[in-house]
A and B are shown apart, each in its own frame.
Chain A
Amino acid sequence: MEIRSRIYSNIMYVTMSGELDEHNAIYSKTTLDELFLQSGFSQVIIDLSELEFMDSTGVGILIGRYKKLKERHIPIYICNPSKHAEKIFKMTGLYNIMPKIN
C-alpha cells in the first residue's frame, strides 16, 4: 500500500496504490489523516487507478475520512476506480457522499 499526494490550485490530489484491506487499514487511515492536516486545499480528489484490490474495509476507511473533512467543509471526489471498486461503491452508496469525477 502506498499513498502519495500533492496540492495544486487548492486541490489535494491523493493517489492510493496497492491493496486496500484490513491489513493496510491503519496505515491508510493514519496516512490520509496526516495528509489532511495540511492546509492550502479546499477539496480532495482520490485517484484509485493504481489500486489493485479493495474490499469493504476500504469503504469504511473512505467514509471515516469523509466525516472528518466534512467538519471542515472539504469535499472528497473519487476518480479512476476499477470496475470492481465501482461495484462496491455503488452497492454501498459511497458515491452519494463522494461523487465520482473524471
Chain B
Amino acid sequence: MKYKNEMTMIVKSLSENESFVRSSVAAFCLPLNPTIDEITEIKTAVSEAVTNCVVHAYPNTVGDIVIKVKITEKDVKISVSDRGVGIDNLEKAIEPFFTTKPEEDRSGMGFTVIESFMDSFKLERNKGAGVTVHMTKHIGEKNIQMVGEENAWAR
C-alpha cells in the first residue's frame, strides 16, 4: 500500500509520555479529516497500547516504545512496539477482563477497548523481545454531512 505520510516516534516507557503520544498521533491523523469521535477513539487505542508498555512490558524499569503511524487518503495504520518482557500467551492476553495484575486495580480491558475502537487489531511477538500491537482504522466516511458540526478541524 502506498502511504501519503508516515512518522515514527520513540519515547521512554514513562507514564507522562502517554498523553504526549496519543495527542501527537491524533494530530498526525488530522489531514484525514476525522470526526471528533474518530480522533477520540484513536487517542484511546493508542493510550491503551502505550499503557501496556509502561505497565507490563517494562515492569520496574524504563525502556523504549516505538510508535509508527502511516496514513493514506482514508486509512490510518498504527503500530506500538516494545522490547520488553513479552507476553506468554497472546490469546489469553486479549481476552476481556484478563489481567496479570488484578491487585493493582487493572481492568484487563485494554485490548478489548483497542479492538472495539479500531477496525483491525493484531498482537504480534517481536523477534528477540517484546510485542507489537498493530491497528488500523478507516477514517472520514461520515465527514461530508458533519462539516461544521462535529468535524475535528472545527475545534
Using known A-B contacts A21-B47, A22-B54, A23-B16, determine if residue A91 contacts B113 with beta carbons closer than 8 Å. Answer: yes
Interface size class of A (residues with CB under 8 A): 20 to 34
- In the bound complex, residues from chain A placing their C-beta under 8 Å from that of B18 are 21-23
A30 to chain B, nearest CB (A): 12
| B37 with A63: CB separation less than 8 A | no
In the complex the two chains form, what is the Cα distance from A9 to B40 in whole Å? 36
Using known A-B contacts A22-B15, A60-B105, A88-B113, determine if residue A55 contacts B37 with beta carbons closer than 8 Å. Answer: no
- In the bound complex, residues from chain B placing their C-beta under 8 Å from that of A60 are 104-109
- In the bound complex, residues from chain A placing their C-beta under 8 Å from that of B37 are 83-84
Report the count of interface residues on B (CB-CB < 8 A). 26
- In the bound complex, residues from chain A placing their C-beta under 8 Å from that of B43 are 53
In the complex the two chains form, what is the Cα distance from A29 to B104 in whole Å? 10
| A56 with B48: CB separation less than 8 A | yes
B51 CB–A CB distance under 8 Å = yes
B86 to chain A, nearest CB (A): 20
- In the bound complex, residues from chain B placing their C-beta under 8 Å from that of A63 are 105, 107
Closest residue of A by beta carbon distance from B40: A84
- In the bound complex, residues from chain B placing their C-beta under 8 Å from that of A19 are 19
- In the bound complex, residues from chain A placing their C-beta under 8 Å from that of B34 are none
A79 to chain B, nearest CB (A): 20
- In the bound complex, residues from chain A placing their C-beta under 8 Å from that of B47 are 21, 53, 55
Using a CB–CB cutoff of 8 Å, the interface residues on chain A facing chain B are 19, 21-23, 25, 29, 53-57, 59-61, 63-64, 83-84, 87-88, 91-92
